[in-house]
Amino acid sequence: MARSKSSKQWLKEHFDDEYVKRSQEDGYRSRASYKLLELQQKDRFIKPGMTVVDLGAAPGGWSQVAAEIVGDRGKIIASDILAMDSIAGVEFLQGDFTEAQVFQSLLEKINTGADLVLSDMAPNMSGMKDIDQPRAMYLAELALDMARSILNPGAYTLIKAFQGEGFESFQSEMKQSFNAVKARKPQASRARSREIYLLGTGFTGDS
């Protein structure tokens, strides 16, 4: 089947991408690893010994980075609807975390609460902003709801959102639950992408 002009362009851009090449050389599962590495270098929110929950984790690029930093004393619980190959130091739970049974399994693995919730979740993009934006912000809301349910006081969350309708209200909502919320756009994020990462620090427990 012939590829469309846009898909050919995407493939060329993908394989020419410096972060794709680096991920292959460094053994990371996705270019997204470099977004987290860059954000970590700036804000130092992942610490040794932390319990970290990685939502929408597949293929595992963020879990790899987090596992390296938290070390043997830490714990990484990754979750995704999609399957994910095992990673040393990472417990993986396949399923929809909004379903009661999956959520309960997550709670059992977390045990004493989480110190950091990560979410790099994004919907399958249709290319139609009026459809994609609400879907993207819905996933961000789900991640925030989960963070509020499982974070320890003073903990952190990093959630991918998308600039556009609903973004400012979501950012304001996050500020109700954290001492500070910082917006970050890592260099590894493609320039044309509307994605932006919101880092909540100092979880207060309010909602």
For the domain that residue 121 is a member of, what is the CATH number? 3.40.50.150
Could you tell me the strand order of the sheet in which 51-55 lies?
Answer: 90-94, 75-80, 51-55, 114-119, 151-162, 195-203, 178-184
Pairing of strands 195-203, 114-119: unpaired
Max Cα-Cα span within the chain: 53
Query: Is residue 198 one of the residues assigned to a domain?
Result: yes
Q: DSSP code of 156?
A: E
pLDDT tier at 190, thresholds 50, 70, 90: confident
pLDDT tier at 192, thresholds 50, 70, 90: confident
Count of structural domains, the chain: 1
The structure tokens 């804000």 sit at: 43
Per-residue pLDDT, averaged over 67-76, amounts to 96
Query: Is residue 1 one of the residues assigned to a domain?
Result: no
The structure tokens 């130092």 sit at: 44
Q: What is the pLDDT of residue 88?
A: 94
Per-residue pLDDT, averaged over 2-24, amounts to 55
**Euclidean distance between CA atoms 123 and 195, whole angstroms:** 12
**Euclidean distance between CA atoms 107 and 207, whole angstroms:** 20
Q: What is the pLDDT of residue 29?
A: 80
3-state class (DSSP) for residue 28: coil
| Other CB atoms within 10 Å distance of the CB of residue 32 | 22
And the tokens for 188?
Answer: 């590894």
Query: Is residue 75 one of the residues assigned to a domain?
Result: yes
Q: What is the pLDDT of residue 11?
A: 42
Range of the domain at 102: 30-203
Query: Is residue 9 one of the residues assigned to a domain?
Result: no
**Euclidean distance between CA atoms 114 and 17, whole angstroms:** 34
Q: Is this structure's pTM higher than 0.85? A: yes
Query: Is residue 123 one of the residues assigned to a domain?
Result: yes
In percent, the amount of the chain with pLDDT more than 70 equals 87
Query: Is residue 11 one of the residues assigned to a domain?
Result: no
Q: What is the pLDDT of residue 10?
A: 38
| Other CB atoms within 10 Å distance of the CB of residue 31 | 20
Residues carrying an active site annotation: 160
**Euclidean distance between CA atoms 95 and 54, whole angstroms:** 13
